[in-house]
Structure 1
Amino acid sequence: MKIYKYILLLLFFWNTAVFGQETFADWTAFETAFVKDFKRLHINELQISYRDNLELIQSERNIKKQEKMFLTYKKALKTFDRETLTKNQQLDYALVLYEINLHLERISLEKKWLTVKPRRIPTEGLQHVPMGKEWYVYFLKKWVDASVTPDALFQFGLSEINRAKKAMNAIEEASGLDSLQYQHYINSNRFFYNNVTTIQQSFENFKKEILSNLIDAFPKVAELPDVHIKQGKNEAYAQVPAYYAELRNTFYYNFFDKPFNKRQVAWIYFHEAVPGHHYQIKFEETLEKSEIKKLFSYNGYREGWAAYVEELIYEFATNTTKYDELGKWEWDIIRSVRVAMDVGLNYYDWSDEKALEFWQEHIKGQDEIALREINRMKNWPAQVITYKYGANQILQWKADIDAILPKDKPFPWLSFHTKILENGALPFSVMDAEVFGN
């Protein structure tokens, strides 16, 4: 009998150690246990390639272990009265629940996947993968937000295409030129740089001009580490106009075999440097984050923020022209078309030819970029949607404030941006509910 009781006691403590408790004295105890148990699971981070994600799926034993842990903590969450938690704890509560639900969805897919997994994961795209549509729905939730659906995102892409076209047409009409004259004008040599020195100086000049305009609108913008600007030399990244390397505090612009469009300077600097990626990442590094927030990262937040601030070029870059704004829209329409194309290729079973036809319907003379992007979307499903979706969420919050703001009162840029930035990266649906109270 003593041996039997001893075994039962061991089993109890083993179960608690592996799968966590179901009740906790307070939120701090819950947080400590959840973080510890989560780290012990060694869950793979989201990879950009669908093949990498599928190849990294763990064994059935480990998947069941994860499931038991998340179900245990989901049950434990229900024991807390949210009203007794602090504001920060309530946010962490919502974040944990968001992550648990998304992980349980992943686990359900992985359990099913292990029964149909092919010997070799197809490289031609999710259309050719067992459970391809189910995986795409999950990847959308993981990259973009748990609240999204393919159909809604496709319609969103169409609406953003129309928005970009409307803005570009307005700029053309304001030029006073007819269509042929306008195309000749915007493609003339006056809009292109042909040497690195001129490109570098253009970025450096813009950097000097813009900072003072941002101080009253973005918290700590003048207190963070300086951003460096360099020409990109890595041809593996040649397909993008620019990219940011956070460990080096540097953004790189690409200039290889084609003239550099000077209309790109303003939006690239806003997106990659300040107040875009560099600023947002360095600001987040100054925050004292809870252990729960430290567990998770959200690339959709980062890309959404960087795409959002491009919308503010005309607001804060006072020396820019309508053609600098055109540069932003020239890249924005590519992003917008990609939203619909991504869903088409990965969920509606579009062929490459149909995707190219869709591209050509909205974008002229850039088929080389289209073919590259089609390949990207098939290999990296859902990722391209993060830019437009995130920017739109922030613009919606701004519109909500504009709607109730007295006409004679300026927009509260500083408090608005502080509200978005002060908790670090979060899922947009969590931020919408917990930060903006929607």
Structure 2
Amino acid sequence: MLGKVLDDEGEWQLGERWPRVDPATQRTNLAYWDAALAELDALPLEDLSRAEQINAATFRQIVTTLAEEVRYKTYEAPLNSDSFFWTGLFPRQGGFSDVEAYHRYIARLRDLPRFFAENLANMRAGLARGYSVPRVTLIGREKSLEAYLVAGQDNPFWTPIADMPASIGAADQEALRSAALAAVAEAVVPAYSEVLDFMRNVYLKQARTSLAARDLPDGEAFYQSQIQAYTTLDLTPEEIHKQGLAEVERIQAEMAEVIARTGFEGDLQAFIEFLRTDPRFYAKTPRELLSYSSYVAKRADGKMGEVLGFLPRRRFTILPVPDAIAPFYTSGRGGLNSCLMNTYDLPSRPLFNLPALTLHECAPGHALQAAIAEEAPGEVPRFRRDNYFSGYGEGWGLYTEWLGTRMGVYETPYEDFGRLSYEMWRACRLVIDTGVHYFGWSRDRALAYLGERTALSTHEVTTEVDRYISWPGQALAYKLGEMLIRRKRAEAEAALGTDFDQRYFHDVILGLGSVPLPVLEAELDAWIAAGGPNPYADLPEAA
């Protein structure tokens, strides 16, 4: 979403404008992507080196997805119940390093009215042709705009201004503050006010009442394209639904074993009700929840040398989800610099889920994954380092939740049940996503299916199901990616025996950067066939 430009050293930096998203620009983009795919088709792939074949396969998936998004005009619905085009437009923490970066930031603030107007025009076009996000999944989401209607230093866009480094002189700081205050009052507040009015008085009144992606224009083909985009696998909705049902059955059996370890007398539903209502499992303050997650992250740190051969230098922090989006945001989300933990509605955030969530979002999950993508040795081109495939990235994240059982992270049967509940949550996604978008499930049926099989709170169940309804295909990536990694690990352990070293197995996965799942599978197969070597054996510091 961010408009970017190249600096003098060939690195991307945030520019002075947001990208153009109008239909004419979209058509230009599509022509460019189609031409790029035609050039790729003309290459003699069999003559390329192994590394270049990986590049080609990755590039093809990236460009195909970009082209399909334009072809199906997904830009006409630039939001879902979880993410909106009007959020995430300023840094999560901290400011910028120099005066020029602040000038570009203020210029972007001035560009918001144009950027928002193009998005609203696209959304009107979507409504006109019957393409929109289901209304029920957006109810109340417009409240996330309200924090931006305040002029002055209480506006969220002031955050980077309040954290200017001391290296910027006093006169420059004063000038930047004055310019930012004017931009917030004259551009930011009016732009957000217009979006809020549109959401309340137009979109929420006209958005579709149906749920299934199949109900959209060219819906069946669109849903299949979304499956391929997010999972990078050629699977049908029927195949995914069947796999999901099998995983649900397997995990239920493991849940029964863990319940027995707690000594609880009662069935799964009774145990889930016990977990949802006993106050011992819930934080009393946001700080307590953040502290619990931080403790888990630090315990995992102590095992990281047993998990990976290559460890990055970059570190992450743990922060609360911003108040403006917390009511509708997922439980947590991790990235290069920080992991966000949701402290909104603490009675809906059980502590026994936090070990799995922290492993997934922080380390060895997404934060560490992103750092390795930046720092790992090897000739990985920038377009692969900066890319993110959900099947690969979320598959790794879910895999790390299971990996926590090998790292000794789960200290109680309740935390282990939280892990299984999270795995069940992802398995249910295979069933619910395809159930809603292909088999025509109702929202109530989806809510009941997830609520009866996991220890997620009622708030989380509702937030998650609305996310699946409003974001077709995205939820499928997690379990399918994790299943592939665990399957390959089992094959490696069987084939290599005592020569299997999980550090090298993980180094191969993370050293590739984000790639389509078929590419990951092929590379792991080649690694197994080669005897499971250390991929960084030639480095001086390699163990």
* Range of TM-score over shorter length: 0.7 to 0.9
Aligned to 2:416: 325
Secondary structure, aligned partner of 1:210: helix
Aligned to 1:430: 519
Secondary structure, aligned partner of 1:224: coil
Aligned to 1:73: 40
2:344 alignment partner AA: F
- The offset of 1:161, in angstroms, is 1.3
Secondary structure, aligned partner of 2:303: helix
Whether the 8 Å CA contact 2:230–2:477 is kept in 1: the answer is yes
- The offset of 1:298, in angstroms, is 1.4
RMSD across aligned C-alpha pairs, in angstroms? Answer: 3.4
The 5-angstrom pairing of residues 132-211 of structure 1 reads 132-179=219-266, 186=275, 187-211=277-301
Secondary structure, aligned partner of 2:399: helix
- The offset of 1:366, in angstroms, is 5.1
- The offset of 1:194, in angstroms, is 1.0
2:37 alignment partner AA: F
- The offset of 1:422, in angstroms, is 0.9
Secondary structure, aligned partner of 2:359: helix
- The offset of 1:404, in angstroms, is 2.1
- The offset of 1:335, in angstroms, is 2.1
The 5-angstrom pairing of residues 357-368 of structure 1 reads 357-359=448-450, 362-363=453-454, 368=459
- The offset of 1:224, in angstroms, is 2.3
The range that moved more, 286-295 or 339-348, is: 286-295
Q: Does 1:95 align with 2:58?
A: yes
The range that moved more, 424-433 or 333-342, is: 333-342
Structure 1: distance between partners of 2:52 and 2:369: 23
Higher RCO by CA contacts (8 Å cutoff, separation 6 or greater): 1
Cα shift readout 1:286-314 (whole Å, capped 9, x = no counterpart): 13422553574313321111111000112
The 5-angstrom pairing of residues 18-97 of structure 1 reads 58-59=26-27, 63=30, 66-75=33-42, 77-78=43-44, 80-82=45-47, 85-97=48-60
- Where do 5+ consecutive residues of structure 1 fail to align? 1-43, 46-51
Cα shift readout 1:228-259 (whole Å, capped 9, x = no counterpart): 1233342523442222253xx22122223333
226, 229, 234: which one aligns with 2:318:
229
- The offset of 1:118, in angstroms, is 5.5
Whether the 8 Å CA contact 1:304–1:391 is kept in 2: the answer is yes
Aligned to 2:357: 268
Aligned residues between the structures: 374
Aligned to 1:251: 339
> Against the structure 1 CA distance between its residues 240 and 123, is the aligned structure 2 distance closer, same or farther, given a 3 Å change threshold?
closer
2:319 alignment partner AA: K
> Against the structure 1 CA distance between its residues 127 and 237, is the aligned structure 2 distance closer, same or farther, given a 3 Å change threshold?
farther
- The offset of 1:158, in angstroms, is 1.0
> Against the structure 1 CA distance between its residues 351 and 283, is the aligned structure 2 distance closer, same or farther, given a 3 Å change threshold?
same
Aligned to 1:380: 471
Secondary structure, aligned partner of 1:274: coil
Structure 2: distance between partners of 1:353 and 1:380: 17
The range that moved more, 370-379 or 288-297, is: 288-297
Whether the 8 Å CA contact 2:335–2:366 is kept in 1: the answer is no
Whether the 8 Å CA contact 1:313–1:325 is kept in 2: the answer is no
1:252 alignment partner AA: L
486, 490, 512: which one aligns with 1:399:
490
Whether the 8 Å CA contact 1:314–1:320 is kept in 2: the answer is no
1:58 alignment partner AA: Q
Secondary structure, aligned partner of 2:302: helix
Structure 1: distance between partners of 2:301 and 2:456: 36
Aligned to 2:176: none
- The offset of 1:144, in angstroms, is 1.0
> Against the structure 1 CA distance between its residues 161 and 107, is the aligned structure 2 distance closer, same or farther, given a 3 Å change threshold?
same
